Amino acid sequence: MAFNILLVDDSKAIRSIIIKTLRLTKLDIDQIYEAANGKEALDVLLNNWIDLVLSDINMPVMTGIELVEEMAKDDLLKTIPVIIISTDGSTTRMDQLKSKGIKEYLRKPFLPESVGEKIDKVLGVKHE
């Protein structure tokens, strides 16, 4: 089964790095969608089948926290796993986000292997 992934970050450079990293994983990826903020991400989520969201926290227009809160209000969107990828590594912030429903938290800068491991864990994917 191939997965559709939504990547949400206001930095095009970071999105490009994460896309290259995703392509290096063993994950079977169908499409990678991009959004520069939470509002754009909601538009993508409402118009496409998405299996996983990778989101930054600090973005203009709508933050990653606000995105997760909006997703929680929708019966279908709240079932989509979210992994936060951010420079903010405070324990308080991580606990706050986990209480809002995110599945994993990955701190920037990250190793490519750690991205794959977190995704595999969240999606329950096993590789040979």
What's the pLDDT tens digit per position in 44-93? Answer: 999 999 999 999 999 999 999 999 999 999 999 999 999 998 887 677 87
pLDDT tens digit string along 81-123?
999 988 876 778 778 788 877 888 888 888 888 888 888 889 9
Does 128 map to a domain?
no
Range of the domain at 16: 3-123
What pTM was estimated for this model as a whole?
0.91
Q: What pLDDT does 51 receive?
A: 97
The CATH code of the domain that includes 14 is 3.40.50.2300
**Cα–Cα separations (whole angstroms), residue 1 to 30, 31, 46, 63, 96:** 9, 12, 21, 30, 32
Contact 82, 53 (CB under 8 A): yes
Does 12 map to a domain?
yes
Does 97 map to a domain?
yes
Domain count across the chain? 1
Reported confidence tier of residue 127, pLDDT bands at 50, 70, 90: low
Does 113 map to a domain?
yes
With a cut of 80, say whether residue 2 has pLDDT above it: yes
Q: What pLDDT does 20 receive?
A: 92
Does 56 map to a domain?
yes
Q: What pLDDT does 97 receive?
A: 80
